[in-house]
């Protein structure tokens, strides 16, 4: 065996160790979560997922309020963040002068680097009063006929948390969408223009249709972040395990109940139930990712497979 | 026969920033002729055809001096409607650029964006254009399939169908065959000869044999200058300019 073969082999083995390590870590986390939540899994069974009582004193645990809170806040955050994020990305790539685009893009990337506890603090002192004094009274007055915008107005609650999450994930969507839109070959835009398309038409039906896989990817990244966000949400969602249709009402999410109650979980079943919450969060994150990936494939699968050909 | 589709270029200068890409070019393209533009890379031939449909507007800090008239109308006035100009002056690119849509929607695209929704009109136009671009027989049974599933040559003919669907007078082709094999190239060339009755065609090509085969007149550009512009038969057999002769006999380029 020559010197080259040996070094190549060692290099290959060493490299192979890295992805295997990742697999082992994921499997290890999953195993640990299942193992530690066994008592709770035994006691509550599948009912854990659809029972809405969370009563540590009586050792009665159901995860539904948290699942609900996580899903609602993440979805509302996406609804707010997607149009703003994609719109901003389009503006930065297609319309803004190069200098403006560069400055804003840098700021956006900085925004993504701000620790979420700072967002949370800002949320308590700025966003929550703003929601209480301006946004929620407005929504209640003009859209109060919808059950979403009824009930007492505390400022804190699911709507504030959703807005907070939207602010946190917008930079991700802008950043990735910007790259994706900029990567669409110029000649496709030219082709649309050559057929007499206006700028808006070239953008909306050519550029976005080329970029949709990438933009969906950005949205999934953002959704993952929203589902897992702890600090900023915990600080302003109200931390009340109840299921209310109104976005004004306080709620709770999977991630925040773990962070909030871990220190208080002073008997085994409580701890086990919290770990099962972590397991649920883990699975929700994985399922969302799988669904999203399937969605991307269904939108682009045939297309990209043929494009490669 | 429609007699529109005349291009007149008068003392045209074109700048990318400080770089002058075209120097004092004057030429006339008569309706229903095929004009080939040849010349070494960077000579300005692609730039020149992009001036005919104002595609060069898309590049920042460019400047046009001189006049370009299409059917006697200056296309560089303030009130020129660029969108309708581009419908009148279609374009096919070097790389085939099918949109990620079905074959049908690709051809119908130019009609749909101006708000034509009548299915009968759309169906008729799509069939007519695909027939004219000699693609109909190959795709008629799967118009709903993604345009990206076609071969390179088919994609390029689809782009031609898409360009003629908006009923232009002039079709600009920027090296339409440079990515195609000889058989697909031959089909495009046949197609050009057939389209000549309806449209004026200006083709940029790197391939001198292609220019000789397809065109009525040939223009030779170098360093942004129009060196020679003549009937294709005379151009290749009896060039009047020494540089042209050196170029077509392969002494450089």
DSSP per-residue letters across A68-84: HHHHHHHHHHHHHHHHH
- Rounded Cα distance, B44 and A71, in Å: 57
- State the greatest distance between any 2 C-alpha atoms of chain A, in Å, as a whole number: 81
Considering only residues B3 and A247, tell me which one the structure prediction assigns the higher pLDDT: A247
pLDDT one-digit tens code per residue, A176-233: 899 888 888 888 888 999 888 888 888 888 888 888 888 888 888 889 889 999 999 9
Provide the residue count of chain B: 253
pLDDT at A304: 46
Strands B7-16 and B217-222: unpaired
Distance from CA of B139 to the nearest CA of A (A): 17
Q: Please check whether residue A227 is in contact with residue A70, taking contact to mean a CB–CB distance below 8 angstroms.
A: yes
Q: Which residue of B has its CA nearest to A212?
A: B100
- Rounded Cα distance, B129 and A200, in Å: 26
Top residue of A188, A192, A194 to mutate, by most chain B CBs within 10 Å, is: A194
pLDDT mean over A114-137: 93
Three-state DSSP at A54 gives strand
- Rounded Cα distance, B59 and A192, in Å: 15
pLDDT mean over A38-66: 91
Residue A22 lies in a domain: no
Torsion angle defined by CA atoms of residues A268, A272, A274 and A278, in that order, rounded to the nearest 10 degrees:
150
Distance from CA of B243 to the nearest CA of A (A): 33
Contact state of B99 with A195 under an 8 Å Cβ cutoff: no
Three-state DSSP at A60 gives strand
Distance from CA of B16 to the nearest CA of A (A): 17
pLDDT at A255: 93
Three-state DSSP at A155 gives coil
Kind and range of the H or E element at A61? strand A60-61
pLDDT at B67: 92
- Rounded Cα distance, B158 and B211, in Å: 22
Q: Please check whether residue A64 is in contact with residue A243, taking contact to mean a CB–CB distance below 8 angstroms.
A: yes
- What is the percentage of chain A residues whose pLDDT exceeds 90? 54
Whether this model's ipTM surpasses 0.90 comes out as: no
pLDDT one-digit tens code per residue, B107-158: 999 999 888 889 999 999 999 999 988 899 999 999 999 999 999 889 999 9
pLDDT one-digit tens code per residue, A253-282: 999 999 999 888 888 999 999 999 999 999
Residues of A in contact with B99 (CB under 8 A): 188, 191-192, 205-206, 209
**Which pLDDT band, with edges at 50, 70 and 90, does A173 fall under?**
very high
Contact state of B86 with A190 under an 8 Å Cβ cutoff: no
Contact state of A187 with B95 under an 8 Å Cβ cutoff: yes
Residues of B in contact with A186 (CB under 8 A): 58
Q: Please check whether residue A261 is in contact with residue A277, taking contact to mean a CB–CB distance below 8 angstroms.
A: no
Number of Cβ within 10 Å of residue A307's Cβ equals 12
Top residue of B82, B107, B111, B148 to mutate, by most chain A CBs within 10 Å, is: B148
Residue A16 lies in a domain: no
Residue A111 lies in a domain: yes
Residue A234 lies in a domain: yes
Q: Is pLDDT above 80 for B83?
A: yes
Look up tokens 């006035």; give the residue. B77
Nearest to A194 among B55, B84, B100 (CB): B55
Q: Is pLDDT above 60 for A66?
A: yes
Contact state of B93 with A210 under an 8 Å Cβ cutoff: no
- Per the structure block, which two tokens stand in for B116? 């034509």
pLDDT mean over B202-215: 92
Q: Which residue of A has its CA nearest to B91?
A: A194
What structural domains and CATH numbers belong to chain B? 7-248 (3.40.50.300)
Nearest to A193 among B86, B146, B159 (CB): B86
Residues of B in contact with A189 (CB under 8 A): 58
Vertex B46 angle, CA A191 and B10, to 5°:
110
pLDDT mean over A241-253: 91
Nearest to A187 among B84, B93, B146 (CB): B93
Q: What is the 3-state secondary structure (H, E, C) of chain B?
A: CCCCCCEEEEEEEEEECCEEEEEEEEEEECCCCEEEEECCCCCCHHHHHHHHCCHHHHCCCEEEEEEEEECCEECCCCCCCHHHHHHHEEEECCCCCCCCCEHHHHHHHHHHCCCCCCHHHHHHHHHHHHHHCCCHHHHCCCCCCEHHHCCHHHHHHHHHHHHHHCCCCEEEEECCCCCCCHHHHHHHHHHHHHHCCCCEEEEECCCHHHHHHHCCEEEEEECCEEEEEEEHHHHHHCCCCHHHHHHHCCCCC
pLDDT mean over B95-109: 91
Number of Cβ within 10 Å of residue A160's Cβ equals 30
Determine contact: A305 vs chain B, CB below 8 A.
no
pLDDT mean over B170-178: 92
Residue A132 lies in a domain: yes
* Ramachandran assignment for A242, one of left (phi > 0), alpha (psi -120 to 50 degrees), beta (any other): beta
Distance from CA of B172 to the nearest CA of A (A): 10
- Rounded Cα distance, A164 and A77, in Å: 8
Q: List, in order, residues 6 or more apart from A15 with CB less than 8 Å away.
A: none
Nearest to A187 among B90, B97, B101 (CB): B97
Could you tell me how many CB contacts below 8 A there are between chain A and chain B? Answer: 70
- Rounded Cα distance, B181 and A17, in Å: 45
pLDDT at B2: 60
CATH (domain of A150): 1.10.3720.10
Residue A250 lies in a domain: yes
Query: Torsions phi, psi of A23, nearest 5?
Result: -60, -45
From chain A residues 162-221, the ones with a CB under 8 A of any chain B CB are 185-198, 201, 205-206, 209-210
pLDDT mean over B76-95: 90
User: Closest Cα partner for B76 from B151, B170, B147, B12?
Assistant: B12
Q: Is pLDDT above 50 for A308?
A: no
Q: Is pLDDT above 70 for A56?
A: yes
Q: Please check whether residue A223 is in contact with residue A288, taking contact to mean a CB–CB distance below 8 angstroms.
A: yes
- Rounded Cα distance, B162 and B106, in Å: 6
Residue A254 lies in a domain: yes
Residue A267 lies in a domain: yes
Segments forming the whole domain that contains residue A79: 37-308
Residues of B in contact with A210 (CB under 8 A): 100
- Rounded Cα distance, B146 and B105, in Å: 9
Residues of A in contact with B156 (CB under 8 A): none
- Per the structure block, which two tokens stand in for B81? 């409607």
**Number of domains composing chain A:** 1
Q: List, in order, residues 6 or more apart from B62 with CB less than 8 Å away.
A: B14, B15, B16, B17, B56
Distance from CA of B12 to the nearest CA of A (A): 22
Distance from CA of B85 to the nearest CA of A (A): 8
């Amino acid at each position: 065996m020559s010197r080259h073969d040996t070094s190549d082999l060692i290099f290959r083995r060493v490299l192979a160790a890295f992805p295997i390590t990742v697999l082992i870590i994921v499997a290890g986390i999953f195993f640990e979560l299942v193992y530690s939540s066994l008592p709770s899994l035994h006691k509550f069974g599948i009912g854990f997922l659809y029972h809405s009582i969370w009563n540590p004193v009586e050792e009665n645990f159901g995860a539904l309020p948290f699942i609900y809170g996580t899903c609602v806040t993440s979805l509302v955050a996406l609804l707010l963040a997607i149009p703003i994020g994609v719109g901003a990305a389009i503006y930065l790539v297609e319309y803004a002068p190069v200098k403006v685009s560069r400055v804003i893009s840098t700021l956006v990337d900085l925004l993504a680097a701000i620790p979420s506890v700072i967002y949370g603090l800002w949320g308590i002192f700025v966003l929550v009063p703003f929601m209480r004094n301006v946004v929620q009274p407005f929504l209640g007055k003009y859209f109060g006929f919808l059950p979403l915008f009824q009930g007492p107005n505390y400022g804190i609650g699911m709507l504030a948390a959703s807005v907070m999450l939207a602010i946190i994930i917008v930079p991700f969507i802008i950043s990735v969408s910007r790259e994706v839109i900029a990567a669409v070959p110029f000649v496709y835009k030219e082709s649309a223009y050559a057929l007499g398309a206006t700028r808006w038409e070239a953008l909306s039906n050519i550029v976005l249709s080329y970029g949709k896989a990438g933009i969906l990817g950005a949205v999934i990244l953002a959704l993952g972040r929203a589902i897992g966000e702890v600090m900023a949400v915990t600080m302003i969602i109200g931390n009340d395990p109840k299921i209310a249709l109104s976005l004004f009402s306080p709620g709770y999410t999977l991630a925040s109940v773990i962070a909030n109650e871990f220190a208080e979980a002073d008997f085994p079943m409580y701890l086990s139930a919290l770990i099962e919450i972590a397991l649920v969060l883990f699975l929700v994150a994985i399922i969302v990712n799988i669904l999203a990936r399937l969605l991307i494939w269904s939108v682009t699968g045939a297309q990209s497979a043929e494009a490669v050909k | 026969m429609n007699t529109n589709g005349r291009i007149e270029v008068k003392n045209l200068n074109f700048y990318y920033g400080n770089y002058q890409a075209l120097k004092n070019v004057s030429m006339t393209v008569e309706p229903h002729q095929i004009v080939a533009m040849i010349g070494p890379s960077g000579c300005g031939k692609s730039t020149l055809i992009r001036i005919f449909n104002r595609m060069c507007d898309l590049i920042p800090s460019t400047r046009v001096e001189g006049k370009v008239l299409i059917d006697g109308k200056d296309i560089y006035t303030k009130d020129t409607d660029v969108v309708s100009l581009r419908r009148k002056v279609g374009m096919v690119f070097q790389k085939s650029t099918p949109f990620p849509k079905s074959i049908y929607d690709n051809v119908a695209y130019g009609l749909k964006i101006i708000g034509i929704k009548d299915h009968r009109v759309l169906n008729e136009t799509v069939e007519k254009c695909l027939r004219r671009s000699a693609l109909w027989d190959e795709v008629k049974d799967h118009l709903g399939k993604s345009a990206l599933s076609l071969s390179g040559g088919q994609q390029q003919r689809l782009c031609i169908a898409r360009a003629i669907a908006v009923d232009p007078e002039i079709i600009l082709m920027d090296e339409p065959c440079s990515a195609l094999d000889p058989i697909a190239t031959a089909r495009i060339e046949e197609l050009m000869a057939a389209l000549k009755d309806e449209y004026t065609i200006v083709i940029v090509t790197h391939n001198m044999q292609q220019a000789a085969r397809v065109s009525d007149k040939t223009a030779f550009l170098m360093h942004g200058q129009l060196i020679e512009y003549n009937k294709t038969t005379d151009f290749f057999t009896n060039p009047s300019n020494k540089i042209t002769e050196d170029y077509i006999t392969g002494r450089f380029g």
